[in-house]
Amino acid sequence: MDILYEDARILVCIKPAGVVSAGDDEGSMIDLLRKELSDAHACVRSVHRLDAQVSGLMVFARSQAAASILSEQVRTREFEKEYLAAAHGRFKESAGQMEDLLWYNRSLRKSRVMQETGKDVKRALLSYEVLAYCEDQDVSLVRIRLHTGRTHQIRVQFASRSHALLGDRKYGAGEQDGCRIALWSYKLSFLHPQSGQPIAFSAAPPAVSPWNLFNLSELS
């Protein structure tokens, strides 16, 4: 478990792929962090989530008060999240927004773009910027900022525009990609729950497929 920062109120770490981000069951992020801290009863509380197969930065609260403050920042969008994705195809626009109506099918555990409002249909909005394009593999490196937090939002919004994320077979990517879902939690910005001061963390994905198709050292 790679812990990047820790104080009395927060803990920032890299979530591995395949680990559940919420709850404290055996093998969950909270369970693994408690083991890393050598304290089975350590106060470690989740304030945001990543899909189990998605990797990257996460912040956890170290007290109930800190969890409440950070959760409120998530709700009011003061807690900002940026992601990196490797997506199939070349984008027509180098930057823009994606806005859709999404419905999450709980029985299938899959989101879907809807054409009309309805029960449990929610607005989804994100901004994106294409950072690079690998012509040999027909893959784009994209930076994404979420303005809403819907289930599988990035994955379904990109797939609905014929830009499925590499490795995301649930939303249309093929078996030939040979990688996990190419979505990485890259940057987190929020107000420290104790000092109230702005704080930010960033971490680039490891230089393995498909991220090694691009020069990640140029990220800012």
> Phi then psi for 88, rounded to 5 degrees?
-65, 140
8 A C-beta contact, residue 130 and residue 88: no
> Tokens representing 7?
């104080």
User: Can you tell me the distance from the alpha carbon of 82 to that of 4, in angstroms, rounded to the nearest whole number?
Assistant: 17
8 A C-beta contact, residue 53 and residue 37: no
DSSP code per residue over 37-102: TT-TT---EE-S---TT-EEEEEEESSHHHHHHHHHHHHHT-SEEEEEEEEES--SSSEEEEEEEE
Query: Known catalytic residue: 168?
Result: no
- Catalytic site residue from 2, 7, 51, 136: 51
Active site residues: 51
